Amino acid sequence: MTRGERLYRAVEEYAALGPHHRTGTLEDRATRDWFATGLRDAGATVEEQSWTFDRYESTWEVWVGGEEVEAIPLFYEGVGTVDTDHPFVASIPAGAAAVAGFEAAAREALARGAEAAVVATETPTGLLMAINRDPAPATGLPTLLVAGARAGDLHTRAVHVRMEARVVPGASANVVGRIGAGPDHERLVLATPISGWFRGAGERGTGIAVCLEVARELAGSVPLLVLGLSGHELHNLGAKKFIEGSSRPPLAVLHFGASVAAGEAGHGGVLHLARGITIRAALGPHQGAAVRDAFHILGKQVLDVPEERHTDPAAWVGEATVWCRWGAPMVSIAGGFPLFHSPEDVPERATTPELLAASFTATLAAARALAT
């Protein structure tokens, strides 16, 4: 088995853990166990950092023209029981962390006396897009998201909604692995989110697979602190919990964020590395040159974060917005791709062994540069 094939198998294993990788679910528990096993196989000692949060628990159905369609709640946006043939309907531009203009639309819906809303997520692909959330409602209107391709149907066909939702005490944990000797502040941090939306093969699975493989390769030569963080879809809650308990910055950070080796279809339908993936770095001059060289294989330009903005979350993406608080040297690879946050993000559509192997080669070289 080639390295690329082994990495692809890890992506398949992650995706097979369940249809939803949401924080605090049974899939979350299974994912943490699976990630811990991967760390132990790399020679790590493993512990869990447990934490609690308010978990949104819901069941739902959306019917359009008598046909049940795939949907997902806008988490935390409304609790209680709804069963209605007259939801407010809208089509609104959607991104990973927001539905633009939702609050204005929800206020209109509430003024009309609507019990619930059904929102088609406008994206370039027309897919259903789940939205990262803070555990706090903006309007209190129970809201379900459907694919943007359904926008026309919402206005021309009968729409029926059944939904029950509540907020309950929830619990999750970060998986923390240590390889090699020494205090944490002398270790290279390899950090990756392990929770998210749907099966998350390209979005989450590729970064997890490459992170674990880099840890295996560096074991015995570089002291490592490897972090598998839950709570990503709750605006990086697990990363925030971890850094709150960290007293000193580490040697450096390599952040394996979203879509590390995710692809998009090019000529002939062949997947190539998604254009939406970016690489950001805040490094010394010698490290910077080595890191730029490392990512040539991916055809990606490294975006240098100026020293005065190193600790500015606005200069970073994903959980790097949390790790930048340390002020340690950091490389972050993260971004989006066409299947991002959608049910279609499955291994065979999201990545290939070749993309994974190239990402591993680049990030391993970057990790070695950070460790010097």
DSSP assignment string, 250-312: -SEEEEE-TTTT-EEE-GGG-EEE-TTEEEEEE--HHHHHHHHHHGGGGT--EEEPPGGGTT-
Per-residue pLDDT, 285:
76
- Range 301-334 burial, b when 16+ CB lie within 10 A, else e: ebeebeeeebeeeebbbbbbbbbbbbebbbbbbb
Q: Where are the domains of the chain?
A: 3-55+171-371, 56-166
pLDDT for position 284? 80
Phi, psi of 260 (to 5 degrees): -55, -40
Residues 6+ apart with CB under 8 A from 40: 46, 177
Rounded Cα–Cα distance for residues 252 and 367 (Å): 9
The pLDDT of residue 93 is 94
Our CA dihedral for 142, 148, 149, 152, rounded to 10 degrees, sits at: 60
Fold of 56-166: Glucose Oxidase; domain 1 (3.50.30)
The CATH homologous superfamily of the domain defined by 3-55+171-371: Zn peptidases (3.40.630.10)
Q: Is residue 272 a contact partner of residue 202, using CB atoms and an 8 Å limit?
A: no
Give the pLDDT score at 137: 77
- Class of residue 77 by CB neighbours under 10 A (exposed 0-12, middle 13-18, buried 19+): buried
Tell me, what's the pLDDT at 97?
87
Q: What pLDDT is recorded for position 201?
A: 98
pLDDT given for residue 247 in this prediction = 81
pLDDT for 172 equals 98
For the entire predicted model, the pTM comes to 0.96
Cα(58)–Cα(69) distance, integer angstroms: 16
Phi, psi of 302 (to 5 degrees): -80, 130
Distance (Å, whole) CA 183 – CA 223:
9
Length of the chain, please? 372
Q: In the chain, which stretches have pLDDT less than 50? A: none
| Exposed e or buried b per residue across 210-222, where buried means at least 16 C-beta atoms within 10 angstroms of its C-beta | bbbbbbbbbbeeb
Strand order in the sheet with 143-147: 71-73, 143-147, 117-122, 88-95, 98-99
pLDDT for residue 102: 92
Chain-centroid distance, C-alpha 250:
23
pLDDT of residue 145: 97
> How many Å apart are CA 218 and CA 5, to the nearest integer?
20
**What's the rounded Cα separation, in Å, for the pair 148 and 94?**
9
